[in-house]
């Protein structure tokens, strides 16, 4: 049993009569890197703000170290936040921004100086103490925001889409850096993003959310390889989602053929969703394919080609390092491991 630092129980949040979070249960383990992932408006930021104390839950409990913290104002919680657009103090320089929380605690000057220096070193900003905030680049401002929150040695650091405003290369660098910081400081990170790649790269646990409801909780591998429903499959990476029928255990029919799969425990002839990742489809000569189709489009993506193939009216998305000719008839094969069977989502026809 993991040691939970935060437990969210049956959380409900209404905003202007609209239900933003609808009965959420989530345990966050100590020293864990948890990512809340989902499209905008799914309630992930609201969840973070509930933990930070900026949003009052309509119902439900938030336990911190086993104690209910509903009545605790933000400034008394052992969590700190890295805000979406940094929210740095424009009237203070880098040093004073980071020192802010320590000054509130009225620590001796010497300790403040050494802890600020230590944090600036951690985020690679040594020597920037006297700079004013508007002299910094977006990436540097981001680092100040992280240092400012971490200098207080919180038990939990909340990060609200902290890399959203950075360009791709900088974002990749910061992803690695954040993971390194989290490991070296051994504190819990709760990270909010809509970028699935970011979530998979950094997290120990990914929480996929949609419409205020948790869809799936799992390790990045689990979420990617075993999506629980079509929403998760679609949101995490690209995928082909086809309607299928479970003929019997280990045999599924979809796309005009029967395939051996690794799933069982479904009703006979149960309607299911079948997920196939584009990189798992192998393109073979027409005669050796389990199914065949016509190449519709080819887009060069750098590492691979994204090939669109029309097979019996379904438009397959296939990633291949080999290019094909538009209009060519090709075969496709799948191994049992490549086929992910999911029950139909509730409420779906």
Partner 1 sequence: MKSKLPSLPYLIWMAVFIVVPVGLVLYFAFTTQDGAFTIENISQVGQYTGVLLRSIWLAAVATVICLLIAYPLAFFLSRTRASVQRTFIMLVMLPMWMNFLLRTYAWMTLLENGGLINKFLGFFGLGPVQMINTSGAVVLGMVYNYLPFMILPLHSIMVKIENTTLEAAQDLGANWFQSFRRVVFPLSLPGVMTGVTMVFVPAISTFIISRMLGGGGNSLIGDIIELQFIGASYNPHMGSAISLVLMVIVLLCMSLFNQFDSSGKEGIYS
Residues 6+ away with beta carbon under 8 Å from 169: none
Contact 250, 263 (CB under 8 A): yes
Output the smallest distance, CB 146 to partner 1, in A: 12
Q: Residue 133 or residue 291: which is nearer to partner 1 going by CB?
A: 133
Q: Residue 85 or residue 282: which is nearer to partner 1 going by CB?
A: 85
Output the smallest distance, CB 159 to partner 1, in A: 12
In sequence order, what are the beta bridge partners of 12?
22, 59
Q: What is the spatial distance between Cα 268 and Cα 271, in angstroms, rounded to a whole number?
A: 9
DSSP characters over 266-281: PPTTEEEEEEE-GGGP
Read off the tokens for 50. Answer: 């509930």
Q: Residue 98 or residue 199: which is nearer to partner 1 going by CB?
A: 98
Q: Residue 76 or residue 349: which is nearer to partner 1 going by CB?
A: 76
Give the three-class secondary structure for 284.
Answer: strand
Output the smallest distance, CB 80 to partner 1, in A: 6
Q: Residue 107 or residue 245: which is nearer to partner 1 going by CB?
A: 107
Q: What is the spatial distance between Cα 323 and Cα 205, in angstroms, rounded to a whole number?
A: 36
CA distances from residue 232 to 182, 208, 263, 290 in whole angstroms, order as listed: 26, 7, 18, 27
Output the smallest distance, CB 163 to partner 1, in A: 17
Contact 142, 124 (CB under 8 A): no
Output the smallest distance, CB 75 to partner 1, in A: 5
CA neighbours closer than 13 Å in the CB half-sphere of residue 195: 17
Q: Give the residues lining the site for partner 1 (CB under 8 A).
A: 52-54, 73-76, 79-81, 83-85, 87-93, 95-96, 99-101, 103-105, 148-149, 152
Q: Residue 64 or residue 95: which is nearer to partner 1 going by CB?
A: 95
Output the smallest distance, CB 289 to partner 1, in A: 55
Read off the tokens for 21. Answer: 């979070």
């Amino acid at each position: 049993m993991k040691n939970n630092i935060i437990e969210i129980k049956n959380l409900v949040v209404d905003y202007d009569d609209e239900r933003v979070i609808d009965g959420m249960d989530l345990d966050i383990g100590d020293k864990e890197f948890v990512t809340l992932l989902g499209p905008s408006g799914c309630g992930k930021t609201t969840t973070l703000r509930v933990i930070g104390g900026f949003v009052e839950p309509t119902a439900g409990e938030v336990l911190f170290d086993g104690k209910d913290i509903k009545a605790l104002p933000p400034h008394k919680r052992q969590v700190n936040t890295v805000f979406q657009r940094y929210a740095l103090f424009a009237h203070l320089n880098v040093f004073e921004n980071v020192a802010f929380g320590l000054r509130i605690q009225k620590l001796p000057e010497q300790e403040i100086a050494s802890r600020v220096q230590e944090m600036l070193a951690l985020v690679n900003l040594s020597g920037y103490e006297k700079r004013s905030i508007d002299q910094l680049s977006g990436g540097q401002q981001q680092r100040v925001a992280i240092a400012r929150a971490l200098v207080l040695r919180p038990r939990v650091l909340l990060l609200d889409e902290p890399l959203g405003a950075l360009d791709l290369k900088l974002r990749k660098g910061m992803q690695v850096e954040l993971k390194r910081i989290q490991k070296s400081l051994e504190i819990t990170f709760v990270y909010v993003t809509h970028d699935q790649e970011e979530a998979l790269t950094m997290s120990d646990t990914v929480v996929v959310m949609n419409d205020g409801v948790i869809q799936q909780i799992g390790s990045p591998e689990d979420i990617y390889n075993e999506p629980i429903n079509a929403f998760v499959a679609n949101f995490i990476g690209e995928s082909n989602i086809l309607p299928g029928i479970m003929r019997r255990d280990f045999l599924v029919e979809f796309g005009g053929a029967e395939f051996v799969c690794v799933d069982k425990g479904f009703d006979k002839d149960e309607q299911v969703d079948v997920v196939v990742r584009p990189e798992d489809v192998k393109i073979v000569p027409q005669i050796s394919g389990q199914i065949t189709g016509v190449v519709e489009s080819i887009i060069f993506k750098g590492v691979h080609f994204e090939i669109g193939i029309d097979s019996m009216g379904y438009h397959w998305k296939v990633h291949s390092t080999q290019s094909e000719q538009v209009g060519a008839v090709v075969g496709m094969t799948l191994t049992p491991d490549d086929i992910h069977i999911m029950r139909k989502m509730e409420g779906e026809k």
